[in-house]
């Protein structure tokens, strides 16, 4: 049997803000049976994780390209690889059989034909939506967990500031910090998001950064005695203002710098005099470095979920054609929580 497979490509490298017109939906005919002897696995994709870092792979040059294997540049015209949950249609590999649910690095496509090494793990349907494996129980959760607990070594009562706080990683960081007993303030790009943070997610306070003219004074207002921990998702001026407002021995965990991804000339220049005199630590990390604590992370997070102590915020779009707008939307703040594109019924 043959099907038409729609997949998404970039038409050319993207050097600044992504637009839907930079993308193209392509189609190909693929057979759903494998040649004898093939060890491939054909997967029908169900849920696609939409992640900001891909913009860096879409550039012709980025400092990130040489840093780590999964940050290599994408080739215009070719299928884009991303984190996906799908169901096996046909398998030439003895470890997988038809109807298995799998998560792995597949493609922005309806179907992906992959080798074993692209499959991260088999999944089973469980008490929560499968998409949690892409967000709260997947890399967003692990980023929040590793970047907050392992990098920041937070203590009860400390003051915590989170940017992109209504986003997938940010909202989890804020909730973990509240569960630990920290004082938590988040910023986000709309009044609606601010309300969500304060009224649904338990943040002590929150503000819309787009309405502030002097972030330095804004942070002084929210943290009159200074910030112990800044969980940075955005970089740029927000990082500068946070460093200026850190307490002595403050820690900045740099998860991402989304405001710098789409503006190659934009660079944070935190005051290094603050860094020295206040003995601040600024540290970058990748979730992948924390696979060693995945067991702990996942056990604790599942417990919190079962006890109703963590709220899960997902933002879904439907159909392969919606991938470009879902992706572009990340850079406009359209999403609230984990952005996922749903391609088919389970």
Ligand X SMILES: NC(=O)c1ccc[n+]([C@@H]2O[C@H](COP(=O)([O-])OP(=O)(O)OC[C@H]3O[C@@H](n4cnc5c(N)ncnc54)[C@H](OP(=O)(O)O)[C@@H]3O)[C@@H](O)[C@H]2O)c1
Summarize as ranges the residues that interact with a second copy (CB under 8 A).
56, 62-64, 67-68, 71, 235, 239, 244, 248, 254-257, 260-261, 267-286, 289
- How many other C-beta atoms lie within 10 A of the C-beta of residue 254? 19
204 vs 260 by CB, closer to a second copy: 260
* Strand pairing report for 281-284 and 246-254: parallel
333 binds ligand X (CB under 6 A): yes
Give the Cα separation of 111 and 104 in Å (integer): 13
C-beta of 146: minimal distance to ligand X in Å? 8
- Residue number with CB closer to a second copy (25 or 275): 275
Closest CB to ligand X among residues 79, 169 = 169
Beta strands in the chain (DSSP E): 2-10, 23-31, 41-49, 81-91, 101-107, 111-114, 119-123, 159-162, 183-188, 205-208, 227-232, 246-254, 281-284, 314-318, 338-342
Query: Would you state the structure tokens that stand for residue 300, as one six-digit string?
Result: 């604790």
294, 287 Cβ separation under 8 angstroms: no
The piece of 27-35, 112-120, 291-299, 333-341 that touches ligand X (CB under 6 A) is 333-341
From the list ligand X, a second copy, none, which binds 330 (C-beta under 5 to 8 Å, kind-based)? ligand X
Q: How far is the CB of 3 from ligand X (least distance, A)?
A: 31
User: What's the rounded Cα separation, in Å, for the pair 209 and 229?
Assistant: 18
For every residue of 39-85, DSSP letters joined together read --EEEEEEEEE--TTHHHHTSS--TTTTTSGGGPPPPTTSPPEEEEE
* Closer by beta carbon to a second copy, 172 or else 286: 286
Binding mask 151-180 vs ligand X (x if CB under 6 A, - otherwise)?
Answer: -------------x-xxxxx----------
Residue 288 or 299 having the CB closest to a second copy: 288
Shortest distance (Å) from residue 147 CB to ligand X? 7
64, interface contact from a second copy, ligand X, none, CB < 5-8 Å by kind = a second copy
> Quick one: 92 or 226, whose CB is closer to a second copy?
226
In the bound state with a second copy, the residue whose beta carbon lies nearer, of 220 and 300, is 220
- C-beta of residue 141 within 8 angstroms of C-beta of residue 83: no
Chain length of the chain: 346
Residue reference for tokens 């879902």: 326
H/E stretch holding 139 reads helix 139-145
- For ligand X, the binding residues in 82-111 under the rule CB under 6 A are none
The option from a second copy, ligand X, none interacting with 104 (CB < 5 to 8 A, set by class) reads none
Return the residue of 52, 86, 104, 138 that touches ligand X, per CB under 6 A.
52
Q: Which two tokens stand for residue 341?
A: 């594109």
Q: What single-letter DSSP state applies at residue 332?
A: T
Is residue 89 a contact partner of residue 32, using CB atoms and an 8 Å limit? yes
Within 178-207, which residues bind ligand X (CB under 6 A)?
188-190, 193
Q: Decide whether 100 or 232 has the Cβ nearer to a second copy.
A: 232
Residues 232-251 interacting with ligand X (rule: CB under 6 A):
233-234
**Residue 179 vs 272, nearer CB to a second copy:** 272
By CB under 6 A, the residues from 126 to 155 that bind ligand X are 139-140, 143
d(CA 342, CA 319): 6
- CB hemisphere CA count around 254 (13 angstroms): 18
In the complex, minimum distance from the CB of residue 345 to ligand X, in angstroms, rounded to a whole number: 25
**Cβ-closest residue to ligand X?**
167
Q: Site residues (CB under 6 A) for ligand X? A: 51-53, 139-140, 143, 164, 166-170, 188-190, 193, 233-234, 255-256, 258-259, 276, 285-287, 330-331, 333, 335, 339
């Amino acid at each position: 049997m043959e099907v038409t497979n729609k997949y998404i490509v970039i038409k050319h490298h993207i050097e600044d803000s992504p637009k839907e017109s930079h993308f193209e939906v392509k189609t190909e005919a693929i057979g759903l049976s494998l040649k004898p002897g093939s060890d491939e696995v054909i997967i029908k994709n169900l849920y696609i994780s939409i992640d900001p870092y891909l913009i860096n792979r879409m550039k012709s040059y980025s400092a990130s390209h040489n840093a780590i294997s999964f940050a290599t540049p994408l080739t215009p015209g070719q299928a884009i690889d991303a984190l996906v949950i799908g169901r096996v249609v046909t398998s030439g590999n003895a470890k997988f059989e038809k109807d298995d649910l799998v998560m792995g690095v597949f493609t922005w496509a309806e179907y992906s034909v992959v080798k074993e090494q692209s499959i991260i793990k088999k999944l089973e349907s469980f008490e929560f939506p499968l998409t949690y494996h892409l967000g709260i129980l997947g890399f967003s959760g692990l980023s929040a967990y590793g970047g907050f607990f392992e990098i920041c070594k937070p203590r009860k009562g400390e003051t915590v500031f989170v940017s992109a706080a209504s986003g997938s990683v940010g909202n989890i960081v804020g909730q973990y910090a509240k569960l630990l007993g920290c004082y938590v303030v988040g910023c986000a790009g709309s009044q609606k998001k601010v309300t969500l943070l304060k009224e649904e997610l338990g943040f002590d306070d929150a503000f819309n950064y787009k309405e502030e003219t002097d972030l330095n004074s804004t942070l002084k207002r929210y943290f009159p005695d200074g910030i112990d921990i800044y969980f940075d998702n955005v970089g740029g001026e927000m990082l500068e203002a946070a460093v200026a407002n850190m307490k002595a021995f403050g820690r900045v965990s740099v998860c991402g710098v989304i405001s710098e991804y789409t503006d190659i000339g934009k660079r944070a220049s935190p005051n290094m005099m603050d860094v020295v005199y206040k003995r601040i630590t600024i540290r970058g990390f990748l979730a992948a470095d924390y696979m060693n604590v995945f067991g702990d992370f996942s056990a604790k997070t599942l417990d919190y979920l079962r006890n109703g102590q963590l709220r899960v915020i997902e933002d879904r779009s439907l159909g392969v054609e919606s991938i470009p707008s879902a992706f572009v939307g990340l850079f406009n703040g359209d999403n609230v929580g984990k952005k996922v594109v749903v391609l088919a019924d389970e």
